[in-house]
Amino acid sequence: MCPSGSGLGVVFAFVCAFEVVFVFAFAVPVAVELWHWTSPRALGYEPFPVPSRKSIANSPPQLERLLEAAASVRERAYAPYSRFKVGAAVLSKSGRIHVGCNVENASYGLTLCAERAAAAAAVAAGDAELTAIAVVTDAGSPAPPCGMCLQTLLELAAPTARVVLKTVRGKRKHYALRELLPHGFGRRFL
């Protein structure tokens, strides 16, 4: 608290008002502009095309496209520490495919998994309902998403959503999401 009658209270109020004006007048527009110029479309990446807008998650050709998209984006993974590259692709209810790859960080807790990156890309594109998920890794056997990714996927997909896991050598496993996370936390607990 400033002593009564001092000019410090006025200075403090001026500084606070300046910070609010600065944030809304400069920082927010800059952040929006940066997002616009760094969006996938602005950088030249287009969503993977699909043959139709209706959801055909159980169609073998659609699952192949989903796996191809995951394998392709896996090559862009940033994994300098683990060297474990992961690519993921999600199919939205609208029929669009969204992709993501893992992005590691020297502060390991900040690493972004491929599955959450793909889910976030779908949400950012306005496709928050997922119907199928594909994950491609270089592991010896098909590797499932981690618990954090499964929980995120369960938020956006039905428990019956198909999850296809594949290795770069061609080994595959198919699951329903509920098989990988049978007792996930959800809205029913809130």
Residue 151 has pLDDT above 90, yes or no: yes
CA dihedral of 158, 173, 166, 104, whole degrees rounded to 10: 60
Burial tier of 91 (Cβ tally within 10 Å: 0-12, 13-18, 19+): buried
Q: Does a structural domain hold residue 166?
A: yes
Instruction: Look at residue 54 and tell me if it is in a domain.
Output: no
CATH number for the domain that contains residue 65: 3.40.140.10
Mean pLDDT of 53-81: 85
In three-state secondary structure terms, 158 is strand
Q: Is the pLDDT of residue 157 over 90?
A: yes
Half-sphere exposure of 103 (CA within 13 A, CB side): 7
Does 34 share its domain with 115?
no
pTM, full prediction? 0.70
The stretch 16-32 carries a mean pLDDT of 46
Are residue 98 and residue 183 in the same domain, yes or no? yes
β-strands 86-92, 97-101 pairing: antiparallel
123 and 158 together in one domain:
yes
What would the two tokens of residue 133 be?
């998920």
Please check whether residues 28 and 102 belong to one and the same domain. no
C-alpha pair distances (Å), 18 with each of 1, 2, 75: 19, 19, 46
179 part of the active site:
no
Q: For residue 51, name the pLDDT band (cuts at 50, 70, 90).
A: very low
CA–CA separation, 135 and 176 (whole Å): 13
Beta pairing class for 86-92 and 130-137:
antiparallel
Instruction: Work out whether strand 130-137 and strand 157-167 pair parallel, antiparallel, or are unpaired.
Output: parallel
Q: Is residue 126 part of a domain?
A: yes
| One-letter identity of residue 6 | S
Who has greater pLDDT, 107 or 8? 107
Task: Name the residue range of residue 4's domain.
Answer: 1-38
Q: What is the pLDDT of residue 6?
A: 57
Which one of 46, 104, 115, 155 is the catalytic residue?
115
40 pLDDT above the threshold of 90: no
Q: Please write the tens of the pLDDT for every residue from 53-66.
A: 344 456 889 999 99
Q: If you average pLDDT over residues 109-135, what whole number do you get?
A: 97
Same domain as 92, residue 16: no
- Residue 1 inside a domain? The answer is yes
Residues 76 and 108 both lie in one domain: yes
Q: Are residues 34 and 64 in the same domain?
A: no
4 and 83 together in one domain: no
The total of structural domains in the chain comes to 2
Task: Name the token pair of 175.
Answer: 């699951």
